[in-house]
Amino acid sequence: MHDFIIPALLAIAAAAVFFILRRRRRRDTRIFDLPRCASHEKTRETRLYHDAQMEAMARLAGAVAHQFNNILSVAGAALHLARNAESEAARAEALEAIESSIRNGAGITRRLLTLSRGNAIRKTPVEPGTLLRETLKILSSRPGAPAINTRLRDGLPAVQADPLELSRLFQYVLGNREFLSASGEPVVVEASSAGPARPDAGDAPGPLFVKISASRLCRGFDRDSIRDIFEPGLETSRWTLPIAYSIAKRHGGWIEASYSRAGVLAFDIYLPAGPAESAPEESAPAARPGSAAGTGPLRVLLAEDDDDLRAMTARMLRLEGHGVVEAADGLEAEELLAAGGFDALLSDVMMPGRTGPELAERARAGNPGIRVILMSGHSDGRMDPARAAALGYLFIQKPYSADRLLGFLR
């Protein structure tokens, strides 16, 4: 199993960088769809802009590669120690280091997917004041954290948000490098309700927004850099504000940055108020009549086109006593389903031949009681926990823990 860890981390890094570059490149290629009558000067400006964008992407890829090289080095050293451990305690310590590397790698891919606006969010009604206070406690406990003064109004309306993503947004804005590099004055955090939606909305009534402001005296800040403060840079410290802005946009809000003549750098976060329907979590639904779930070892059809992941998942399931039949693509899985006899289908969402949702539909047509678990490393709108639950399926996001996956088969 340990031999799988380093290739898996490397695959995660490569896939994440490829995805970002592909999306960015698609956007950039549209720049060249210019009318033939475009002036030579305009074409030259476009090419310069394209070159600058490509340079930024190269720097981003370099930063990701640097981080993953460190993670892989730690994992490789820990793997060697685990293989040659002289005691169970030393072996356990090495395995914990490997698990930590996996968590760090997963964290980087989450940030990349957030930056690319590609991963799904799960909105639930969130009380912003409570979540903000919890986030401030986390920030205050960090070494070198600035003092924070809060002015949070009681009775703020709920916002429609993914709690984990919203907490990350708060941490990235309040912990941005400009605030951390300043000294002296505390960070001031305020929260209130605001509306209409934007300053240019005029007198027309608009939706209610919750406004969260963070400001700090930052003398010497380059005023001109305000215009690109939400653009990613080479250093990972320059990712925080772009990611925060992306999270806000995907929640229907936005962030405004300003720098006053008095030297105060301020960020205003706007989030739409109002309750949202709670999205289902990754928890098992009630077993259907005739379902074999919860009755002991199951016969599982595992459909996964990644050979290493499929092999390791199959070994893990067999170790727990389940019978596993493997399929390397959707068409092979479809043929196996036709033969019948399975208690559960565990399938990747995106595969050659047939997608996971297509296989799930065919599986249920032949066996209404079969348990269906869909897996995905990137939610692109085809399937998410809410949609899966509506269809009576389970959904688990990659990377997942063994305990979570096995829990779906109990």
The domain that holds 352 is classified in CATH as 3.40.50.2300
- Between 173 and 46, residue with greater pLDDT: 173
In a domain, 151, yes or no: yes
Q: Kindly report, residue by residue over 273-319, the tens digit of the pLDDT.
A: 875 444 444 444 444 433 444 457 899 999 999 888 888 889 889 98
Q: Are residues 226 and 310 in the same domain?
A: no
SS3 137: helix
Q: Are strands 299-303 and 323-327 parallel, antiparallel or unpaired?
A: parallel
User: Does residue 268 share a domain with residue 165?
Assistant: yes
Which CATH number does the domain housing residue 259 bear?
A: 3.30.565.10
Which is more confident, 348 or 44?
348
Whether 128 and 111 share a structural domain: no
Residue 289 in any domain: the answer is no
- Domain end marker among 82, 98, 115: 115
Q: How many domains does the chain have?
A: 3
Same-domain status, 56 and 88: yes
What average pLDDT does the segment 127-152 reach? 82
pLDDT one-digit tens code per residue, 65-81: 767 777 878 788 888 88
Model-level pTM?
0.49
Q: What are phi and psi of 197, to 5 degrees?
A: -60, -50
If asked whether residues 128 and 243 sit together in one domain, one would say yes
Q: Does the residue 105 lie in any domain?
A: yes
CB atoms closer than 10 angstroms to residue 274: 13
**Nearest one of 351, 350, 343, 359 to 391, comparing CA atoms:** 359
Statement: residue 124 has pLDDT above 70? yes
Distances (CA, A) of 373 to 339, 341, 369: 19, 17, 13
Residue 161 shares a structural domain with residue 64 = no
Residue 37 has pLDDT above 50, yes or no: no
pLDDT band at 337, cuts 50/70/90?
Answer: very high
Give the domain extent around 94.
Answer: 2-115
Write down the pLDDT at residue 199. Answer: 44
Residue 94 tokens, joined: 């090495």
**DSSP states along 41-84:** HHHHHHHHHHHHHHHHHHHHHHHHHHHHHHHHHHHHHHHHHHHT
